[in-house]
A and B are shown apart, each in its own frame.
Chain A
Amino acid sequence: MRRMRSIGVLVMVLLLLTTVLYAGGQREEAKPTVTVLWALYDGLTEEYRAELQSAFMAAHPDINLDIVPVPWDQMYDRITTSLAGGRPPEVSVIGTRWALEFMELDAIVPMEDYVSQATIDNILPGTKEAVIEGRLMGLPVAAGARILAINTEITDKVPATMEEMRAEALRVTTDDRYGLIMPGRKHTELTDFAYYLYAAGGDFFEMEPDGTYGRSTVNSAAGVKALEFMVQLATEDEVVPPGFMATTRMEAHPVFYSGRAGYVMIGAWVESALADAGATFDVKYAQIPGFEGTPSTPLVITDSLVIFKDAANKEAAGKFIDFFYQDEWKARFDELIGFPPVTASAAELPQFQTPLYEALNEAAVTAKPWPLMEGFAEVTDIVWDAVTAAYLGQATPQAALDDAARQIDRMRGF
């Protein structure tokens, strides 16, 4: 009997303890937490992430901030799985082209609802790519056209056309250095095919009179010309690293950073990545050339910050975005990742008046973005498979792209 009583007392004490601990935890939980999925851009440091997090929480002691670093290649999967699970983060960096899909899912909210007008007014109008159906569904976080970086220790030649670039790449390629970089392993982005496709005057889709996307045109004369050129560079001329088929963009670029490639078509992060790699050679920036008779049309990529509709703390998320877009933080972010600023106030700062930013600004004039459409992830995958088949000689560029266009049209209901 006494033993039973002792057990009873023990159980009561444990219950009490659990309740107290739980209540304490609940009190902590009562403070809203803003979770931010933070894309790991080249050049972005952990120190910056930690400092931003601490500074925001110091300025807003009533809000918890959890900035979660996520590699770019995993970002889309991470967001979609969190949406499918019904527990999205408050804020995430996204490729702006994903915004349409998230809108279709009714998963994101207009930024005006939670971000201050002062922050929105400070955004450069040309970078507001995520204006969909008249509403600003995402704030640009990184926007920049792609450019050509040239290792001047290997070549000084600024090619005026793709054909000139090929000739120079052939000239400078030796046993241990390469004319240019070409990622050949499928990854989230289809950037390299887009560089050559746009340079040949091509596009992914025909435009309908009402502004919607029609049938796929990846197998147009321009598309085939682009892929034939890529295959020629990689498998016949062999001016790219021999292991290109096994490397994604992130894995291929370090060969340029190590000073063993003449050209790379790259984004604004090139300078910070070179600095991180300890590169000592001089680099010159130029425009990605068009093919002979075609103007330079580089790819421009915009990433945005969005707020998710089902997130618990959207008001607090808006406060974080207002805080982050102050020059003290956003300009430093831009500088670290090397992208040109997206805010009017930061654009005036002296650190953004350099040759790299001049090249980026010039590229922005003629640059073209990805198609802003639903299901582009699947289109990307299909075209990647076509490019791979052509590299491997499993199909001619024409046959591979014809098959890709058929698959894309079928997938989109044409």
Chain B
Amino acid sequence: MGASTVSLRSRYWNKEAQLAYLLMLPAVVLLLSLMVYPIAYVFMMSLYRTDRLGRLQEFAGMAAYLEVFSTRVFWETTVRTAVWTVLAVVVKAVLGMIIALVLNVEYTGRRTARMLFIIPWASSVPISAMLWKWVYDHEFGLLNQTLRATGIWTNPPVWLGAPTSAFISTIWVDIWVGVPFMALIFLAGMQAISRDLYESGDIDGANATQKFVHITIPGIRHLILIATMLSSLWTFNDFNTVFILTKGGPGTSTEILITAVYKHGFEWLRFSRAAVMAVVTFVILTMLSLIYARMFFRQERDL
């Protein structure tokens, strides 16, 4: 027992380790103050009655949780957020894969095409959202003007004015912004796959689909996981797109959890309720990350 304590001590508290701790200290302090403290404070806010500036007043237990969970709008918003995330990430992954395949083929102008595909991702999300808001404008927007001018749709819808079209329009902007990221990651993975594998496939008589399914997909499997995980986290919390395009409307038809947190917290100054929703968001995303991490590490082990 004593020997093992000494050995532990010598292992974790030697001169080298002490220097490492010292060097890590600023990062740890920064992490604690900028990440752990706010998260802990949000948990506290969800359990306390707060004043209209978010200062803790008195312990209220689960009162705010019960209040939030008893409203229909909260559950609708949570389900909508899940649908929003799954739909957007799946479409981004599929489109990203198609674009990556196109960009992976040798042809003249491939370099220019790659640069053009990055533009939506490189531009800031609020600016992209504002541009799309103009595009969707019923009277003067590019989309409706084009539809009318070409005769495709003489009486086009008010894209952001009805629940279904507003949801689709908003999700499309999130997809438009996020596809290049997926495409770039997939492309990088595809380029790392050895050409020999494809040549072997050719010799064995595999067609393009078989090569895609049995060589490309397994070759970039871990990148698909990472990209979809990161995209899920960003999409779940895509405040900018929703807030700029619809502010959650019409009614609450495009509201997602993160915009609801903002509305309850900073527009209505009901910080306990906002904190409950933030905690729910935190729990969902943590669970999602853990599932992904588990799958990722299992895959790493299998490799």
Contacts and interface: CB of A to CB of B under 8 A. Distances in A.
A338 interface: no
B202 interface: no
A246 B266 contact: no
Contacts of A247: 138
Contacts of B270: 378
Given A105-B51, A105-B52, A185-B250, A246 B268 contact: no
Interface stretch (B112-120, B154-162, B220-228): B154-162
A66 interface: no
A266 to B, nearest CB: 19
A388 B268 contact: no
A353 interface: no
B204 interface: no
Q: How large is the interface on B (under 10, 10 to 19, 20 to 34, 35 or more residues)?
A: 20 to 34
Nearest to B139: A243
B201 interface: no
Given A77-B267, A80-B269, A81-B266, A184 B251 contact: no
A80 B249 contact: no
A101 interface: yes
Interface in A81-127: 81, 83-84, 101, 104-105
B146 interface: no
A312 interface: no
Contact of A241 (B136, B139, B162, B247): B139
Contacts of B10: none
B139 A80 contact: no
A231 to B, nearest CB: 14
Looking at chain B's contact residues, is the secondary structure mostly helix, strand, loop, or mixed? loop
A392 interface: yes
Given A83-B53, A255-B139, A245 B161 contact: yes
B189 interface: no
Nearest to A400: B251
B41 to A, nearest CB: 12
Nearest to A375: B268
Contact of A381 (B54, B136, B161, B263): B263
A105 B54 CA distance: 11
Interface in B128-172: 136-139, 158-163
A88 B162 CA distance: 38
Interface size on A, as a range, is: 20 to 34
A8 interface: no
B266 A80 contact: yes
Contacts of A389: 251
B252 interface: yes
A377 B158 contact: no
A375 B52 CA distance: 10
A246 B158 contact: yes
A361 B166 CA distance: 42
Contact of B52 (A104, A186, A246): A104
A56 B137 CA distance: 41
A377 B163 contact: no
A243 B157 CA distance: 8
A377 B268 contact: yes
A101 B161 contact: no
B249 A378 contact: no
Contacts of B252: 385
A81 B53 CA distance: 8
A241 B53 CA distance: 40
Interface in B54-93: 54
9 contacts: A84-B266, A184-B161, A186-B247, A255-B139, A377-B268, A385-B251, A385-B252, A389-B251, A392-B163
Given A245-B158, A245-B250, 8 more contacts: A80-B52, A105-B51, A105-B52, A185-B160, A185-B247, A243-B139, A243-B158, A392-B251
Interface of B: 51-54, 136-139, 158-163, 247-252, 263, 266-270
Interface of A: 76-77, 80-81, 83-84, 101, 104-105, 184-187, 241-247, 255, 375, 377-378, 381, 385, 388-389, 391-392, 394
